[in-house]
Amino acid sequence: MRTLIRKPFSRVPGVRQAVAGIRGSEAAQTLVEFSLVLPMFLILIFALVDFGRAFFSWQIVTNAAREGARAGAVQSDAATIDTKIYQSFCSSWPDASSCALDTTKVSITKTNVQGARGSEVTVAMSFDFDYATPIGPMLALIGGGTLAAPTISSSTSMRLE
């Protein structure tokens, strides 16, 4: 009876080349995995950046509406209320020559300015936010949907003194 002697795989012709080919394709596999994960990673980074900017803008708009309502509560006229609002935009920014928000994208509505004492003055503001990153097209690429730029708004009422 003949005995079969098994050779280790490393000595079988062609196996060494096949194993080397598998190891060589790991770089290609890594590249494919990276290309699949990169859009999701970028969306997370873009979302963090734009959420931070939107939150900052919301704080500026809310504070500006509060400043305008306070100016209106002490019987200031509409021009003085607007000045207080725009000063609050620029005072929050490090550079005095520029403002934190683009003033062309801000709309202000004032009601009951210099009204009867004891009634309320209301200052409502809205700001058209723009994304700084291409998060909308990235979401369209991955999920098929789009992301419209929001309008940040705030309203403050105070009793007239």
Q: How do the domains of the chain map onto residue ranges?
A: 13-159
Q: Quick one: pLDDT at residue 100? A: 75
Residue 97 sits at the vertex; the CA angle it makes with 93 and 98, to the nearest 5 degrees, is 50
Stretch (H or E) spanning 159: strand 151-159
Tokens, residue 128: 């058209």
Cβ contacts of 57 within 8 Å, gap of 6 or more? 100, 101, 127, 129, 152
List of the chain residues with pLDDT < 50 = none
Burial label for 75, CB within 10 Å (0-12, 13-18, 19+), is: middle
Q: Quick one: pLDDT at residue 20? A: 54
Do residues 94 and 155 make contact, with C-beta atoms less than 8 angstroms apart? no
Q: Quick one: pLDDT at residue 96? A: 56
Nearest Cα residue to 155 out of 88, 101, 110 = 110
Tokens, residue 35: 């290309």
Tokens, residue 85: 């609002």
Task: Put residue 143 in one of left, alpha, beta given phi > 0 → left and psi -120 to 50 → alpha.
Answer: alpha
